[in-house]
Amino acid sequence: MLIPVLFQKHYLLTVTIVSLFGNGLLLVLIRRNGHALGNYRILLILFAIMDIFISAFHAWSVPMCVLGKHGYIVFGLTIASGSGFLPSITAASYSVTYFLPSALLVMHFLYRLFSLTRPARVTNTFPSFMLASVSYLAIFISSMYILMFRLTRKTVPLQYYDILGEYGFELSNHAINTITVQYLDESMRPNVHAMGSIILGSLIIFQIIFTSLVCARKIHTALTMRVLEIRSRRLHLQLFWALIGQFSIPALFTIIPFSIIIALPLSGASLVQTGNICCMIASVFPALDPLLMIVSISRFRSTITDWAYAIIGGTARRNEMKARERSRIYAATIQKSTTQTA
């Protein structure tokens, strides 16, 4: 049974609206409170813009993934049957954007690590760091596009004809642009071409995960061993746990669905709609990411609270609460100092 196309379109549109609102709000908060984040705010801005682009791309292309026996196909519903370069690159672009957030997070992990272990150097050489980051992303994107174009086809195996016909495609001329992965060819022999591309792509993703985990471990060690000013430590901890959350969400919403997509066809079962469900799950990440960042950083939460009080006319009450809290902290500090002196 097909998931209704209209439902998928409305679902992706809703996710895009949430992503646009959340990332737009995050950009405003970064502009308002970004001075405390230093150069890291530039990476956050790039990530927010990338999230908006990915959500808009998904809403426009309506990505589909159909699982068949010993393989699967990926295509953009709105443009797969067109001619020219754009339809060919659309399916490949979806596969690239699927993992692009995880690749960009590597840069975030490296910056957080260097900001703890080499703070002066990373500040003075930030342009060089950004150049290296852009080069890394360019290599990642180029490698993924090369692998995806190796799998791009204008014809699809016969087993997908019925399901594509239900989507409204005319397959009499076989003109449909898809990423086609068949683990076994027509003679039931291993398809070395397809399996090799999948293995290489999986190694690229493994490198991203491994680098991120190593950096996370080193950051945790640095936060444990390094002596930092109280406010600086608090901010580093907030950004670290926010980054862990950003890493965990792609693992749940992209890496696990990707593993399901490439593993289930090996069973030989034709689990048609499972791939579409995985694609729909993956589209949630760009909408959740900014909300996670806003909730994780206290400065952002405080600004949101200030705006909420301003809307309901409670600014004076909010300022009074802040003043009492500052007085309480000051009194506690003085009392502690007096006790230690005595």
CA torsion sign for 32, 38, 42, 45 is: negative
Instruction: Give the tens place of pLDDT for each residue, 5-34.
Output: 888 889 999 999 999 999 999 999 998 887
Give the per-residue pLDDT at 342: 44
Return the CATH number of the domain spanning residue range 5-311.
1.20.1070.10
Give the per-residue pLDDT at 27: 94
Q: Among candidates 142, 115, 135, which has minimal Cα distance to 126?
A: 115
62 exposure class (CB count in 10 Å sphere: 0-12, 13-18, 19+):
buried
Give the per-residue pLDDT at 234: 84
Give the per-residue pLDDT at 337: 52
The 8 Å CB, 24+ separation contacts for 170-178 are: 170/81, 175/81, 175/83, 176/75, 176/80, 176/81, 177/75, 177/79, 177/80, 177/81, 177/82, 177/87, 177/88, 177/90, 177/91, 177/152, 177/153, 178/73, 178/74, 178/75, 178/80, 178/91, 178/152, 178/153
> 63-68 and 71-76 as β-strands: parallel, antiparallel, unpaired?
antiparallel
Q: In this structure, are residues 12 and 283 in contact, taking their beta carbons and an 8 Å threshold?
A: yes
Give the per-residue pLDDT at 272: 65
**What are the sequence ranges of the domains in the chain?**
5-311
pTM exceeds 0.85 for this model: no
- Which residue ranges of the chain lie beneath pLDDT 70? 1-2, 82-84, 154, 171-175, 268-272, 314-319, 321-323, 325-342
> 63-68 and 178-182 as β-strands: parallel, antiparallel, unpaired?
unpaired
